[in-house]
Amino acid sequence: MTGKVGTNTESRKVACAASVAGSIGRTPEHLLSSREHKSVGTVVDIGGVPVGNTELAVMAGPCAVESAEQILRIAREVKASGANILRGGAFKPRTSPYDFQGLGKAGLEYLRAASSDTGLPVITEVIDPHHIELVVKYADCLQIGARNMHNYSLLREAGRSPRPVLLKRGLSASYKEFLLAAEYVMAEGNNQVILCERGIRGLSNELRFTLDLNAVPYLKDRTHLPVIVDPSHGTGNARLVPAMSRAAIACGADGIIVETHYSPKDSISDAIQTISTAELIQLIRELAALAKVVGRRIPLPLVK
Ligand code: PEP
Ligand code: MN
């Protein structure tokens, strides 16, 4: 076998799986995610919302689904703000095993109900390959979190699922490692992958993470996959979220994923970095104006 990408699907899959294992020395230019492999930008469809075209994706919602009422109220406020995708974790990868781990299946049900009520497609995190079959029944997009970027069995299983995958950069992953993690998903046949820069460990003791916006133009240049930014985890501080969201759009991101709650201080997880839904409305107005400058678009809801 040579390093060339095969023409039929089967041989391509074998070639790709082998290349990920390093057995045929596939060079970075031959990765399935690379611009050399596919020059035209990929548009990923999340429940009917395209990510990666002119219109920007704004994914918003709480860090965690906490109750049916909480997610429904947030979903309605998110919808009214002009955001087009609802986020919310049902399975939470918490740093401490003693912290709230998410509502699991009940959380997925509440999320789906909020989606049906508002018409917003939903993205939620998967932390275990055995959960994918369940999560696929409720979610329009699977999120693979920073802590699981190196979880190869999870990446492979997501690659075999029928849902698009939002892959977050590991806390200290290089761009190469990030792209190769995406390759694990794509090598299984799922090319609906979105990359998300969510901040890395830096030198700052003041902030939770350092948002590496170099990643956006770098990855957009190297790959045809959409690239979005998470200014909530990227800063760990709600006061910085609007500025870094604007910076993300200015440097070419295809969208943002942001944590929001009607009463941020009452969030069970990630309260400090969560903006209020009132702030989200203001932020989206600013982003819509900025989008025009960079040739993108955010359609704003009509003010009643
Ligand atoms: C999250 O989105 O709530 C989350 C846990 O993100 P990350 O994996 O980027 O820390
Ligand atoms: Mn969070």
For 160-183, the pLDDT digits (tens) are 999 999 999 999 999 999 999 999
pTM of the model: 0.92
The residue length of the chain stands at 304
pLDDT score at 24: 56
What are the residues facing 55 on neighbouring strands?
A: 297
pLDDT score at 303: 72
pLDDT score at 10: 52
Tell me the HSE value of 289 on the side-chain side, using a 13 A CA sphere: 6
Kindly list the distances between the CA atom of residue 84 and the CA atoms of 57, 87, 96, 109, 181, in Å, as whole numbers in the listed order: 6, 10, 32, 20, 27
Instruction: Point out the ligand 1 atom lying closest to the alpha carbon of residue 196.
Output: 9
Residue 57 host element (H or E): strand 57-61
List Cβ neighbours of 77 (8 Å cut-off, separation of 6 or more): 260, 262, 277, 280
Take atom 8 of ligand 1 and give the residue whose Cα is closest: 145
Whether the Cβ atoms of residue 62 and residue 37 lie closer than 8 Å to each other: no
- Fold of domain 40-293: TIM Barrel (3.20.20)
What distance in angstroms lies between residue 17's CA and the mean position of ligand 2's atoms? 32
- In 3D, which of 293, 157, 296, 144 has the Cα closest to residue 220? 296
pLDDT score at 9: 53
How is residue 47 written in tokens? 């429940």
Strand 44-46 to strand 49-51: parallel, antiparallel, or no bridges (unpaired)? antiparallel
CA angle at 153 for the pair 66 and 30, rounded to the nearest 5°: 115
In degrees and rounded to multiples of 5, residue 247 shows phi and psi of -60, -40
Low-confidence ranges of the chain (pLDDT < 50): 1-7, 14, 18-19, 21-23
Which residues in the chain are classed under CATH 3.20.20.70? 40-293
- In 3D, which of 195, 154, 156, 161 has the Cα closest to residue 178? 195
pLDDT score at 302: 79
Distance CA 301, CA 289 (A): 14
Pocket of ligand 1 (CB under 6 A): 63, 89, 93, 145-147, 168, 198, 230, 233
CA-CA-CA-CA dihedral for 243, 261, 71, 284, to nearest 10: -30
**E strand intervals along 122-276:** 122-125, 141-144, 165-168, 193-197, 227-229, 255-261, 275-276
Per-residue model confidence as pLDDT tens digits over 211-249: 999 999 999 999 999 999 999 999 999 999 999 999 999
Given ligand 1 and candidates 59, 63, 257, 267, which is best to mutate, with the most ligand atoms within 8 Å of its CB? 63
How is residue 82 written in tokens? 């002009």
Quick check: helix, strand or coil at residue 236? coil
Q: Quote the distance between the C-alpha of residue 178 and its chain's center.
A: 13
